[in-house]
Amino acid sequence: MKTAKTQVKRVPKRGHYDFETIASILDEGLVCQVGFVVNGQPVVIPTAYGRVDDCVYIHGAGASRMLKALMTGIDVCFTVTLLDGLVLARSAYHHSMNYRSVVVFGQARAVSDPQEKRAALEAFTEHVMKGRWDEVRSPTPEELAATVVLSLPLTEASAKIRTGPPIDAEDDYALPVWAGVLPLGLTAGEPVDAPRLRNAVSVPENVRRYAR
């Protein structure tokens, strides 16, 4: 539901509050930005994430300053942005970008249940590469113990989306300047074998055909 925190104030018509829109953006993104305050100092850390139902998960080593801080229950702001295109107007003032973004507010919870923890780690892996969890070695008990997993509910979240061409000042439409949208997207290159990869191991199809 829309709240005082999640209400989009700048160009409100671009705000979206339905779960399906928010989840679709989160599922396509790869990197989130986690914002919080420690000892009066604002900090924003980029990291990977995964989603299971109505929660997003982040993880890392127990020594992580970010994870240690979030485990205390402080307020956190979690954001993801997808850049879809450069919007090139006839004037510098009206240049923009087409994008899809999500902002989540709340407090993170440390995941202690082993089953939930394993499910979250599977979600991380599958979020990066579909089918990868079944291809690789599962975490050992020692690796699970060394990994901190935090859960953040999508209770207070919103999306903001811009699409379409540039919107110029009326007098500028007559200018002899090209205007339009330059679409952008994330594309995968040719897979590069790890140095110690055995010669008989070929690139799996999910890696070769990777796309988001």
CATH number at residue 192: 2.30.110.10
- Report whether pLDDT(78) > 90: yes
* Count of domains forming the chain: 1
| Predicted confidence (pLDDT) per residue in 79-132, tens digit | 999 999 999 999 999 999 999 999 999 999 999 999 999 999 999 999 999 999
| Predicted confidence (pLDDT) per residue in 174-195, tens digit | 999 999 999 999 999 999 999 8
181 found inside a domain:
no
64 found inside a domain:
yes
**Would you call 174 helix, strand, or coil by DSSP?**
helix
Cα–Cα distance measured from residue 113 to residue 99, given in angstroms and rounded to the nearest whole number: 36
Cα–Cα distance measured from residue 158 to residue 13, given in angstroms and rounded to the nearest whole number: 12
User: Which domain does 99 fall in, by range?
Assistant: 12-168+186-208
Confidence at residue 1, expressed as pLDDT on a 0 to 100 scale: 78
- Report whether pLDDT(199) > 90: no
33 found inside a domain:
yes
Confidence at residue 196, expressed as pLDDT on a 0 to 100 scale: 87
Q: What is the mean pLDDT of residues 46-56?
A: 96
| Predicted confidence (pLDDT) per residue in 103-117, tens digit | 999 999 999 999 999
Residue-averaged pLDDT of the chain: 94
Q: Token pair for residue 183? A: 């679409």
H or E segment at 20?
helix 19-28
177 found inside a domain:
no
Tell me the DSSP string of 110-156.
E---HHHHHHHHHHHHHHHSTT-TTTSPPPPHHHHHHEEEEEEETTE
Contact call for residues 168 and 177 (beta carbons, < 8 A): no
Total number of residues shown for the chain? 212
Confidence at residue 3, expressed as pLDDT on a 0 to 100 scale: 87
Contact call for residues 140 and 40 (beta carbons, < 8 A): no
pTM: 0.91
- How far is Cα of residue 106 from the mean position of the Cα atoms in its chain? 16
- Report whether pLDDT(40) > 90: yes
Contact call for residues 90 and 96 (beta carbons, < 8 A): no
